[in-house]
Amino acid sequence: MASPSAPGTIAAAPAHAVPRGAYSVLTSSTFAFTICFAVWMVFAVLGIPLKKQLGLNDTEFGLLAAMPVLSGSLIRVPLGIWTDRYGGRIVFFLLMLATVIPIWLIAYATTLWQLLALGLLLGLAGGSFSVGTPYVARWFPPSRKGLAMGVFGAGNSGAALTKFVAPALIAAAGTWTIVPKVYSVAMLITAAVFWLFSASNPAHRVASTDGGWRAQLAMLRDPRVWRYSQYYSVVFGGYVGLSLWMTKYYIGEYGFDIKIAAFLAACFSLPGGVLRAIGGWISDKYGAHRTTWWVMWISWVGFFLLSYPQTDLTIQTTSGPLSLHIGLSPTLFTVLLFVVGIAFAIGKASVFKFIANDFSHNIGAVSGVVGLAGGLGGFLLPILFGALADLTGVRSSCFMLMYATVCVSLVWMHYSQRDDSRRLAAQPA
């Protein structure tokens, strides 16, 4: 006679069926990830008053905004492995609890080093992606994994949530210190809600624990892992970096106040998060490679146009000097940014469709590595954006850098696809 399941666990379902509890797991995990991502991106808004209060330059602002991304990225590999070994439910729950106190203490920080240290602890919330992705994926059959991971990944919209909520809290309270206090309480409540509505399936921990850490990390010698890491460093790292930077960009480039700037910046963050579910569906239907290829081309064109700085040009004509102004209006800029946000949303899902297809037995460890690469991109980019702005004085230099990274992805995709085609053709029928 089979032993009864432990509380909070659900027995395995047939291989091609969606088991009971899967949609509850998906819903609670997506909600939890949305709040975690909102917390992870909080310095995109808090950094604005803190920059003025502490007298930071653009590079220091970039470092402050990116510090949570560093720890959230570095923790992704062990979190992915622990998820394979112990199950996503307990790891996700404990991870959220670990961030509650550091978030609260940000309200009492008065120096840059204190904010950087607390930012590292707060940043653990960003590691939730490497927990939730394998946790959710294992509840669904292969034909629905892309969509399920896309729905979960829509929690990236927490970046937009912060841009709506944090400025409103600051305006209502008259001080930025209200934001970390509210976010700390919200994280505690979210952890409780997640635990109440999620579930565990012991079968999800069996296949991935054999062989220990060394066996789980052996697949890192596979070049596909590093290829997918580069793609993800563009579509996710670029999403994180620009989400942290765009509020400040709107203020500096177009002179908007923080509420309007954050609202317009959300036109990039919101589709870049919510539409990830559609990206999962597209990847299921048309394949990961084709979807990612078009994502990179659309991003390439978008960043080319966004890179052009505001320019006043004087042409000497036969009738005298002719003055021209070349530059993007706030409306056209926001439309282009919106399009890039949609492309990134689809690309984030299509990259993880690659992983689900190629590494189904080690999805936790591999998603941790790829997520680490994406997170490190999100950490480095705001710092590089600030350094370029300080060095050149050209705000659109951030888009010039993104344009270059997309070029690398396109070249790599072209040659890797050609090599894969040759290898398949050389195999005996």
What would the pLDDT profile of 163-182 be if each residue is shown by its tens digit? 899 999 999 998 999 999 99
Which amino acid would we find at residue 232? Y
pLDDT at 218: 66
pLDDT at 6 over 60: no
Sign of CA dihedral 133, 136, 141, 144: negative
pLDDT at 425 over 80: no
Task: Taking residues 290-313, report their average pLDDT.
Answer: 92
What would the pLDDT profile of 262-296 be if each residue is shown by its tens digit? 999 988 888 877 787 788 788 888 888 889 999 99
22-197+222-426: in CATH 1.10.3720.10: no
pLDDT at 214: 62
Lowest mean pLDDT among 87-91, 180-184, 335-339: 87-91
What would the pLDDT profile of 89-132 be if each residue is shown by its tens digit? 999 999 999 999 999 999 999 899 999 999 999 999 988 988 88
pLDDT at 4 over 50: no
pLDDT at 370: 84
pLDDT at 418 over 80: no
Residue tagged 């707060």 (tokens): 122
What would the pLDDT profile of 21-68 be if each residue is shown by its tens digit? 788 999 999 999 999 999 998 998 998 999 889 998 888 998 998 899
Sign of CA dihedral 52, 54, 57, 58: negative
H-assigned helices in 359-396: 363-392
Question: For all residues of the chain together, what is the average pLDDT?
Answer: 84
Task: Give the Cβ contact number of residue 216 at 10 Å.
Answer: 23
Which amino acid would we find at residue 352? F
Angle between helices 58-74 and 363-392 (to 10 degrees): 170
Q: Which pTM does this prediction carry? A: 0.77
Task: Taking residues 231-258, report their average pLDDT.
Answer: 91
- Judged on CB neighbours under 10 Å (0-12, 13-18, 19+), 280 is buried
What would the pLDDT profile of 351-402 be if each residue is shown by its tens digit? 888 887 877 766 766 777 787 888 889 889 999 999 999 999 999 999 999 9
pLDDT at 204: 63
